[in-house]
């Protein structure tokens, strides 16, 4: 009897092996360099068939001598590569949830391609949406469990997600040719080059690539818009909750990155005065996890400065990602690219919640407000007298010089403005100053969903705090089931999810989020100040429709305050000795 079962099983395997071989032809792709892939079959949220190709290496593993260097293209491999598993995250720790867990691998330069499948013939010239994850340039990943294709692949688009190097591994810089920095951003540019070389083989249109990202991913989008390494590699851009002009994302002042590299090298007994070649070679022999964990030693107030190892202005050498500061108007290379950007209503919850809810942190915040604010908003490089003047202005505007626990909303607004609103406003000021700038669309996300990332930022599920930083991910990616399984979406949540995905898909197709085919109210371009913007949601459920155009600017009084204050914060070079 057992032998009969074995024979039947072998026959079944043989039969199904033939069926799999025939059916999997649509899951086979040959890349431009001759390398072969085989993917797997998935279903979208609405049950549409998807061809998924995951953990595709787009560059050589950045190990050994390739650590602290620009990525090198992946060479052709022999045989058929099974692109069916999730890749590892890049080496990281997550300070936003105050984690001390080391995760990921240094061998992490992989991307994922998700393609709609048609049973009636191969789809071609599909729009391509390329997502760069957030995480403050220190954590995050593009793997499917975090950024799956379920919602976007309800539509005829291709979604590409990817990893890039993070923390000191991705952004250490000596400010010279020995270790110029921006390796994580150079990884992103390599992703875009890979797409140009290969996406047509998946049915995508290399002439219709939209880059989009949130938080540090949004800052990355605006960096890519100015980098010569990415010029001509995409046609549209979406920056959600971030630009490269934020205090945490813009290049460090001259000398800061080099001082931090010196400090890191000393920490591992690698520093050799006047010999960066030897110092960097020594750091290449330190484990990636140890180097990654070391950035926690650079925190001065709670988990700030949020980005100790940030993008830098590189020497003007071949392969440089940027050689000018983003605030230099001459850096704008992408005025002809349609651009969409926006913020959430309560971005600052990501920091106000820890300040108020972690025991002792609010008292520390109040006890030395000048120190805390100068670290949070990166003006600790200024002379002490200038620091105190800036702090006094912030204290007067947000707290009337009487900060107390009753000012939770005020602290939230302060973080929202200093980290996100002001940066978006500054970028729009630069872009809209050009009469020949392409279409620009701005939004404010105000929808109250049953779930919120505020819970992960020390908020807890019992209280609704607002529309937090990162809450847009609820609508673009299937994160609810894993992160917020108790929060059943409402009818309005589902309407917001479907509509936001449609808006982004239409923008990727046409450069207009509400083309004539759209069922949503018209989203008008932003052309001048105060800005016209699109409201995504009805914050107070006061009878207004879920979507609509608003005029008069986003938090205009607060934006005006930061226009003046940012000029003072960024006015001088560093004075502070990091040692």
Q: From 255, 292, 108, select the one nearest 190 (Cα to Cα).
A: 108
Q: From 65, 91, 70, 283, select the one nearest 185 (Cα to Cα).
A: 70
Q: From 171, 572, 579, select the one nearest 381 (Cα to Cα).
A: 572
Q: From 478, 497, 485, select the one nearest 537 (Cα to Cα).
A: 497
Site of tokens 């890349």: 31
The three-class DSSP label of residue 54 is: strand
- Catalytic site includes residue 215: yes
Q: Classify 11 in phi/psi space as left (phi over 0), alpha (psi -120 to 50) or beta.
A: alpha
Beta bridge partners of 441: 340
Q: From 387, 192, 216, select the one nearest 310 (Cα to Cα).
A: 216
Check 133, 325, 407, 469 and give the catalytic one.
Answer: 469
Helix 422-432, helix 556-569: angle, nearest 10: 90
HEC secondary structure over 11-50: HHHHHHHHHHHHHHHHHEEECCCCCEEECEEEECCCCCEE
DSSP 158-177: EEEEE----HHHHH---SST
Pairing type for strands 80-82 and 40-43 reads: unpaired
Where do the DSSP E strands lie in 89-185? 110-116, 126-132, 158-162
CA dihedral (530, 533, 538, 544) positive or negative: positive
Is the backbone peptide bond immediately before 305 cis, with ω within 30 degrees of 0?
yes
Rounded distance between C-alpha atoms, residue 190 and residue 299, angstroms: 31
Rounded distance between C-alpha atoms, residue 361 and residue 451, angstroms: 26
The three-class DSSP label of residue 59 is: strand
What would the two tokens of residue 175 be?
């400010």
Q: Which residues contact 329 (CB under 8 A, 6 or more apart)?
A: 430, 433
Q: From 103, 102, 109, 242, select the one nearest 165 (Cα to Cα).
A: 109
Rounded distance between C-alpha atoms, residue 211 and residue 231, angstroms: 12
Check 215, 220, 249, 468 and give the catalytic one.
Answer: 215
- Catalytic site includes residue 347: yes
Quick check: 408 and 355 in contact, CB under 8 A?
A: no
Site of tokens 């403050």: 136
Q: Which residues contact 197 (CB under 8 A, 6 or more apart)?
A: 31, 32, 33
Q: Which residues contact 121 (CB under 8 A, 6 or more apart)?
A: none
- Catalytic site includes residue 35: no
How many CA atoms does the CB half-sphere of 551 hold within 13 Å? 3
Beta bridge partners of 103: 92
Catalytic machinery residues = 215, 347, 469
């Amino acid at each position: 009897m057992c032998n009969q079962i074995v024979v039947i099983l072998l026959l079944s395997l043989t039969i199904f092996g033939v069926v799999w071989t025939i059916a999997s032809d649509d899951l086979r792709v040959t890349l431009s360099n001759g390398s072969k892939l085989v993917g797997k079959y998935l279903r979208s949220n609405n049950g549409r068939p998807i061809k998924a190709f995951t953990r595709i290496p787009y560059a050589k593993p950045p190990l050994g001598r390739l650590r602290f260097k620009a990525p090198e293209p992946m060479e052709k491999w022999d045989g058929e590569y099974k692109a069916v598993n999730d890749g590892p995250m890049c080496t990281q720790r997550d300070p936003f949830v105050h984690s001390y867990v080391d995760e990921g691998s240094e061998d992490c330069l992989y991307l994922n391609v998700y393609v709609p499948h048609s049973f009636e013939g191969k789809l071609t010239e599909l729009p391509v949406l390329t997502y760069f994850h957030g995480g403050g340039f220190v954590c995050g990943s593009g793997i499917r469990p975090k950024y799956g294709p379920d919602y976007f692949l309800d539509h005829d688009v291709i979604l590409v997600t990817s990893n890039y190097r993070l923390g000191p591994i991705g952004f250490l810089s000596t400010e010279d040719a020995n270790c110029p920095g921006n390796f994580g951003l150079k990884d992103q540019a390599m992703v875009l080059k890979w797409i140009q070389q290969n996406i047509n083989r998946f049915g995508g249109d290399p002439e219709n690539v939209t880059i989009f990202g949130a938080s540090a991913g949004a800052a990355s989008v605006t960096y890519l818009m100015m980098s010569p390494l990415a010029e001509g590699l995409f046609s549209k851009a979406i920056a959600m909750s971030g630009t490269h002009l934020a205090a945490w994302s813009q290049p460090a002042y001259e000398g800061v990155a080099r001082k931090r590299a010196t400090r890191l090298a000393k920490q591992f007994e690698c520093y050799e005065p006047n010999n960066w070649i030897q110092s960097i070679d020594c750091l290449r022999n330190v484990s990636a996890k140890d180097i990654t964990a070391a950035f926690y030693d650079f925190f001065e107030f709670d988990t700030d400065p949020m980005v100790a190892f940030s993008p830098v202005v590189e020497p003007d050498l071949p392969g440089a990602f940027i050689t000018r500061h983003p605030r230099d108007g001459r850096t704008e290379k992408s005025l002809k690219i349609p651009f969409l950007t926006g913020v959430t209503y309560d971005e600052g919850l990501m920091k106000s919640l820890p300040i108020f809810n972690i025991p002792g942190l609010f008292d520390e915040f109040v006890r030395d407000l000048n120190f805390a604010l100068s670290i949070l908003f990166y003006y600790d490089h200024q002379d002490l007298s200038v620091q105190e003047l800036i702090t006094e202005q912030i204290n007067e505007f947000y707290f009337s010089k009487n900060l107390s626990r009753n000012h939770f909303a005020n602290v939230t607004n302060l973080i929202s403005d200093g980290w996100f609103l002001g940066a978006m406003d500054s970028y729009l000021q630069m872009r809209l100053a050009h009469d020949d700038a392409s279409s620009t669309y701005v939004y404010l996300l105000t929808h109250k969903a049953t779930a919120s990332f505020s819970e992960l930022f020390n908020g807890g599920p019992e209280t609704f705090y607002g529309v937090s930083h990162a809450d847009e991910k609820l609508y673009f990616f299937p994160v609810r089931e894993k992160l917020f399984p108790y929060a059943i979406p409402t009818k309005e949540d589902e309407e917001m999810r479907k509509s936001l995905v449609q808006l982004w898909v239409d923008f990727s197709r046409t450069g207009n989020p509400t083309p004539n085919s759209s069922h949503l109210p018209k989203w008008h371009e932003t052309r001048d100040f105060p800005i016209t913007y699109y409201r995504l949601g009805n914050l107070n459920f006061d009878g207004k429709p879920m979507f609509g155009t608003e005029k008069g600017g986003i938090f205009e009084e607060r934006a005006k305050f930061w226009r003046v204050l940012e000029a003072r914060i960024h006015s001088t070079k560093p004075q502070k000795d990091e040692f």
